[in-house]
Structures are given as structure tokens and as C-alpha cells.
A and B are shown apart, each in its own frame.
Chain A
Amino acid sequence: MNPAATPVRRHIHPPPAPALPFPHHPGSLLSVMDLSVDAVTHILTRATALENEDPLLRDHILLKRRIALLFYESSTRTRTSFELAAKSLGADTTLVSNLSSSIEKGESLKDTGLTLRALGAQAIILRHNSSGAAWLLEESTHLPVINAGDGMHEHPTQALLDLRTILVHLRDGATTVTPETLSGVTVTIVGDILHSRVARSNMLLLPRLGATVMLCGPKELLPEMAAHAGPGIVIERDFEAAMRQSQAIMMLRIQAERIAGLQLDLEEYKASYQLTGQRLASLAPAAVVMHPGPIIRGLEITAGVADGPQSAILEQVTNGVAIRMAVMERALVAAHQEARP
């Protein structure tokens, strides 16, 4: 990797990297890597069970438990999804956003977390614009923390709801998963991989269930080193070649200003990577089309594809509520019963 490095004498044994203390709380979900395959099965199984539960009975599972939603970024679907999921289980929720709170006055994440804990919060859902913020919050509070997106890093509940969507379409809605469940399945993720927490969580979760994650995008948005993030990850820069091999295609939002900052031509980008009806029909007529939202119609995806029969975009949103019910139940009730990874 580094051609300038001199060969090292055989007797050099450097100090090893230390074991990591995270997560402190077994109910936390900071990264998809916190979850064993059995833990994923548990969440998927509970998501289906909770979705089918009588709402009046479901209401007692987290009755009057206090869950804080701490959001440092604007969000429609993630925030609403967590809030509705928590309320479906009977929990009390409170939303703290960086605007309209003491965060605006310069209060640190640590102090905000300690304040929420002192107010009685029993779990915190955190959306933050800095990678790693969920780890800092968990370290500071030792409460169960659910990472609802940290910077460019991870968005584990999104990967779980994406998994549920894929299982519904390709595995008859299986809820029990093994390291082979998705053998033979290629999931292509397209676009701004570099800045995407959705891509990172998916590329770390899906290969552990047997899938191949194929990353597709220009090198400015998809550096070669992405292929080294974990096993089962490959890079295919030719979108049409990737489509031909895919059973699921996950489009990512493209921020026009980011493209401009990288001096990429937007029209050229669209010509190479836009998911159009024509491409879909000729190259992947059976693939399930996904997108974590928000979608920019006419940029990464055409309106026709977004609204078309292969699109699972709104199913993903619906699946999010079920997954988040299961994840919050795990945070406050079930984690101690589950085998730790």
C-alpha cells in the first residue's frame, strides 16, 4: 500500500490496538457491527410481530418510558419514524433539536446528554452531523443510544429497514437470517458513497448475510479504499454493468452543490448514473429499486422510476417504523435477554 515503506525487521512486534469498550449499554445501537446475525434475526422477528400486534396491547410495551429524540440535523422520515414507533409502544417522547434549544447557546453534546438523562430520559435517539457523535454520547451518558445517523459514518436503522425491504422482495419476507440468507444476491449502491452513512451501514451489514455489495460511482464520490471497508464489497464504476448483475439497486441522493464542488458536470453525471426507465427495463427488469430519501426527482432517479412498479421507496419508509419499534424495544426491554455479539 505504501511503496516508500522500508521492509521491517522480523523481530518488530508493535503494540496491538486495544479492545474497544463499546457499546457500554447492551441496548445501544451505534453501528450495524454491534449486532450479531442472531441479533439481526431478533430485530427482524420483533419488527414483524410488533407491526402485527394489536395497537392497544402494543401500547403497553414501553408504557410511559421516556425516549429523547436529539436531532442536530433536519429530518423528515427518520425523526417521524422514530417518534411514531416510540408512541406506538406507549413511550413518551420529547424532541430536542439544535435549533430552539441550548445547543444554540453552545451547550456541548456531553452536557446536553447529561441534561436529558437528568430529566429522566431512558434512551436517546441521536441524529448528528459529526461522525462518531453517538459514541461520544453513549460514553458520556451510559444510556442506551440509538444512532439515527452520525455524519458520514453510519445509519444502522436505515440498513435494517433496507434489509427488511430486500427480504420482503427477494426472500418472501423471511425474518430469520443466517450468513447465507442473501447468498447470490447483489445489491448495488449508486452515487455519493463517500459522504453516505446509508452506504456505510449497508455495506457492513448485507455482506454478513451473504450478499455482495457493489458500489458504483465516479472516483470523486467513491474512492478505491471503499472496497477495503469490509468483506463482500466490490466496486463497479460502469453503472449499466452493475445494473445487469443486481437484484436490488439502491440510489443515493446527489447533492448538486457537492457535484459542483468536485467540478463534476451534472449533465455528465446524469448521463452516466441516473436511474431511468429505459435503463431499468433493459438491464434490470426484475430488480427492486430503493432509495433512502429524500429523492431528487430528475437527478439521480427519474420520476417515472421512483413512482414505478419496481420502486420500493415508500415500502422502505413503512418498514422503518416496524424496525424502529423493534430497536427501541431492544434498547429498553429486550437487550439483556439477547445473546451479545
Chain B
Amino acid sequence: MTAAAIAIRHGHLIDPSAGIDAAKDILLKDGRVAEIAAPGRLKLANGAQVIDATGLTIAPGLIDIHVHLREPGQTHKETIATGTAAAAAGGFTAVAAMPNTTPVNDSPEITRWMQAPDRGASVRVFPIGAATRGSKGEFLNDYAALKSAGAVAVTDDGHPILKDNIMRDVLASAARVGLCVIQHAEDTRMTQGASMNLGPVSFKLGLRGMPAEAETSLVERDIRLVAELRESRAHLHVAHTSTAGALAAVRQARRNGLRVTCEVAPHHFLLTEEHVGFYNTHCKMNPPLRSAADRDAMIEGILDGVVDAIATDHAPHATHEKEVEFEHAPNGITGLETALGLSLRWLHKEWKMPLGRVISLLSPQPAALLGFKGRGTLAVGSYADVVIFDPKAEWVYRATDSKSKAKNTPFDGWTMQGKVRWTISEGRIVYTNPA
């Protein structure tokens, strides 16, 4: 069934990819953007449902290129339905789902299964395929088959590829079919048994620490491999960058003309190892919260443009799984419902980043990074993926209100800025919270 046409009137449209930052009305029809016009000038809006966006910002739906939806196999933590409901509530209209499911998504069958209508997704799910069979770092998967099944990148996410020869093959093979390789950069030989950042805080808490070097050195290694494969146009994407050294390496690689991109998660530009406090497992994730100098480098990298995307690393876990001894707690926090509110509260309001640039980091740039055609833009003809939010509204996030199955967030009780009023995915209203 085709959704009814929707006319969004009296709002302020921000579409960085089209250079629009002005009062505009917009018409959505048949799942696409049908028309954009000056206020009151839509020509094709007869019979359309009207959304009054007075005082609100209209932007291309947000895109999160790093989420864990836990399905198949770990549905007590999250399902594709609940994870994408949380995405919709956070203003996201597309998410890229990591392959560390049970079983690992290393096949076209699972890739297709994740996108099937029966999963009940509220927003578009783009599976990321495993780089190697079972994410064991030994045998490469069939990237052409994964891509034709809908995979948008390959990664072994939580099982970083350490062997040089395997990583070289992965980069080269992915480049051949035009897929990006996402690396969770962690030299796990340096992080055995560790549960937070290595430093004075980990020493004081009596916890084994992960050195920043474990991340930085692997990013540097990967960049060397990309440089060797320069001719093949291999694309390396550094997931959840958290160390100043890793970001510096990405910056240098870009200067050298290499195809290296990176993302930063809100918790890595807001929190430090000090937030672990007395063993708060909601501050346990991998990569861990780092030093203040690293956190400041993430902020700087976002403001000066070396960071390509904000991605949440939404990693839901059941409450009882987090209510355990710190070193036994699983890594990860939820993020889909807090990314926009935190980005606007801190990047925009506190650190004066223009609203359009914040939107860029959350929509057109991640869309371009993974090659999502017709998304991250509101140009006529593109997908009718839209977020409508009140950019001035301040509100307090309550984890108990989350649409996610999981409540594991360090941002419970934090003040957010920017309240999502409508989220529209391919022309369907998938979330609404009118004032």
C-alpha cells in the first residue's frame, strides 16, 4: 500500500547536500520527495496530509552507520523491530547493522533475511557483512554475493583483523566490488583481560587497561595497507575512533590522498575515563572512554572536519547483563535516541557548530561514506526520509522511556537539545511526538 502524500508546511528546511537553509514547504509522495517550494507555494499538494512544522527544522533523515541490532540470535537484547523503533524515535531513517549476530552475518542469506519485511523494521536497515567467515579472520567471504544481497560494507567489527596478509586481501577484495572495509581498530594482543582505558584511573580502580596504542597502532597499520593498495582505491573506514593518535593518523592519510574515513561516537566526544566513576558498567564499552586529551581531540576533529560521521555504536544489552562485576560486564551502550539531542546540546549549542554542519555529520556525510543513493538529501526524487525536530527544545532523556529493549545508557537524566517531532521513512510516518 502506498502511503498518502504528506505536505510539510511552515518549517525551516536544512538540506546541506543541496545547500538549502531556508523556510520551505516540502511534499512527499510515493515514498519520494516530490516537490520543494517557498512557503505556501506547493503546487502538487492537493489532498495531501499536512504536517504543520511551524518553528521546526526539517532535515534529511539521520543515518547511523554503526548499530548492533542483535538479530538474528540475541533477541533478548534487541530485535530489528525494537532497534529500528529506537532509531525512528531518535530521528534516524537508515541504520547500518553490524554482523556480530548469532550466527554471524557472513552470508547473502542472512543479509537478505535481515532486510525482509517480516523483521518489522521501522526504518531502512542496511546490513554490513562479515569480512571473514564467522568473523574468525581466516577465510574471506564472497563480497560480490554479499553486496548483491544488500550488504553495504564488510567488517569483522569486534574481532579486528590483525593479520597483515588477511587485512590486505580484505581491502583489495572489497575494493574490487566497491565495498568499504570497516575496522574496529584494536590490537587485541595488547588488551587481554582489559576493561577500560589504560591510565591512572584504571590503575586506581584496579582494572586492567587497554592502551591507546592498541587502537592507534592498528589504524596506522591499516593505513599502511591502504597506501600499498593505493591503485585499487581501497576504502578503509575507521569505526568509533577514540584516540588522538588514531585521529592524527586518519588526518595524515587524508592529506596523502588516501581513501580513509572515520566516525566518532557521541560518548567519545563527551565522556572520559573519569566517568567510569565507581565501576559504572554503563560507561563500559569498546573502545573504552579515553583520557580528557583524547576526548578533546575528538571534539577538535569534529569541529575541524576530519571526522566524517557521527555514529552511535548502539550496542544494547539486557539490564541483568550489565548488573555484574565491571570486568564481567559486556561492552556497549545504546545510542540511537540520544545522538541528535547530545549533538545539538554540545556540538551546536555549546561549541557553536552550525546546525547544518551537525546535520551533515548525521546524514549526508554518512550516506555518502557508504554510498546510500537517494538518502541523506531532500532533493526532489530522493527517498522521502525526513526528520522534523524542534531545534530549541530542551528535554531530559529517561532511559526507561526508550523504545529500545535495552536501557544501558550513561546519558540517563542528561539534558538534550532538539526534540524529534516526526520521523518519516520512505514516506511513512514511523515516529511522532507532537509538542
Contact = CB atoms under 8 A, between A and B. Distances in A.
B is a partner of A: yes
A190 B411 CA distance: 41
Given A11-B351, A132-B205, A225-B200, A5 B278 contact: no
Interface string A263-305: 0000000000000000000000000000000000000000000
B133 to A, nearest CB: 32
A153 B205 contact: yes
Given A4-B297, A153-B205, A153-B206, A17 B277 contact: yes
Interface residues of A, number: 42
Contacts of A225: 199-200, 203
A39 B296 CA distance: 38
A2 interface: yes
A226 interface: yes
A1 B291 contact: yes
A23 B252 CA distance: 47
Nearest to B195: A131
Interface string B245-275: 1001000000000000000000000111011
Contact of A108 (B271, B300, B323): B323
Interface in B198-238: 199-200, 203-207, 212, 216
A143 B243 CA distance: 40
B339 to A, nearest CB: 15
Interface string A1-14: 11011101101111
Give the size category of B's interface with A. Answer: 35 or more
Nearest to B414: A15
Contacts of B301: 6
Interface-centre pick from B206, B244, B301, B351 (highest chain A CB count, 10 A): B206
Given A4-B248, A14-B270, A22 B300 contact: no
B25 interface: no
A110 B206 contact: no
B28 to A, nearest CB: 37
Contacts of A194: 203
B328 interface: yes
A20 B119 CA distance: 41
Given A12-B351, A135-B278, A109 B325 contact: yes
Contacts of B204: 200, 229-230
A132 B295 CA distance: 25
A85 interface: no
A200 B206 contact: yes
Contact of A223 (B203, B272, B275, B350): B203
Interface of A: 1-2, 4-6, 8-9, 11-15, 17-18, 20, 22, 30, 108-110, 128, 130-133, 135-136, 140, 150-154, 194, 197, 200, 223, 225-226, 228-230
Query: Which 4 A/B pairs are nearest by Cβ-Cβ distance?
Result: A153-B206, A132-B279, A152-B206, A130-B325
20 contacts: A1-B291, A5-B294, A6-B248, A8-B296, A12-B296, A12-B300, A14-B272, A17-B274, A108-B324, A132-B206, A132-B207, A132-B278, A140-B323, A151-B206, A153-B206, A197-B206, A200-B204, A225-B203, A229-B203, A229-B204
